[in-house]
Structure 1
């Protein structure tokens, strides 16, 4: 997971380290934890060591920045898919300091910092009330409860772009009261062997709110479960979503990412000065 990421809403992925600890329902079947275990990296949990990387790894974003400058095309860097850069561990402080310096050295890259700990952002970063223009700050909001917990902290951060990742979306979610503080919404269903089905009405409601408030909307995937209407798979496992829709487990690839006949690839306005 580095150059040319397969994640639809980013260009590259950069991990300053691997490992984390679970925080909320979205973490229950964490893909990153499963991936690390398959590779023999026991880096998950409160007392587990984290996996760190060497000079070659840290040099990659510098090359991406040179390429972006040469081509005139900015690149988006998701940081971090295998960790949370705001995890509450003092042994991560040196790596964090190195990351902040790297971000300032790569102005042609937009750094997408996605966290489940937005309350720790101010204490972990050196930027206080003036964040670099290439920092996009996001938080996970898998349902209304966790949106209400995390959005106040996100709204308080003066990042150039503030976004939410409602993926996996595990319940209905309204942005009422927060639309002026959100510049981008990413959402999608859960994938993996234990994926939980999302209700299509949750996505449609969120889409309608975004359209009303002129917030770019990105529907990443249905995940392993997709609405059953029009799918002729007699052997597919079925389940009723919370809104009553029959969902079929057909796998992420077959389920695709079409919502109401369209792909939704919204992106926020890029601020470079």
Structure 2
């Protein structure tokens, strides 16, 4: 039971990080129609920025805040200087973001080196707690709470606010939204910044959970793509459900079926595509 509880907590914490990553990816694709293959690179870059800021300030949460803001600003720069010039050219956008991934990865290696770095959880979450007589680390529980809180907040913003209605309108039909007077380009830019900011926040706050290395970007981008495919494009609820499923399958698979751990998440994705091509909570193309 101790092993099962520990693995459950760690898996759900990883699922929260996957949600922060994939929700931003889905948001960007839905509004800006950009398949941002540099999403994982921004996640990792923000984690390293947070590591540096934490060392300078001595405060982990200030490091997270600074890394999130830096990630959002870098997202705006990437959109304005690069991707905005490629609207309507999907293949060029994919190649541009793929190239940006290599640039960011090399910048990380040049600034922080290629060695794996570990980050200690902040006090008072740097030690274990007792749950039902069993000992579990406390920081993964913090990540679970953060993931649920961000999910609830995003759902409220998208469903209950004017900004959320505008984002949903641009996602549904960009041309019609522009005809109705919505500032489509500004909404796309701010959504891109928010999506990258979510990934940056996930990278910074998740650094004590996942060891940092420049090669982590490709793994996280792959996970984001799998989560979005399973959950369904444009569905925050689908992204949350899929992130938790992928994390649980990956986490328990690594313990009980280590030989098939990497294959299991792809098998899950293939199964979902076979049963529901639009994803668990996605909509079929052409549906209202």
TM-score (norm 2): 0.26
Higher helix share: 2
> RCO (CA 8 Å, sep 6+): is it higher in 1 or 2?
2
Q: TM-score, normalised by structure 1?
A: 0.27
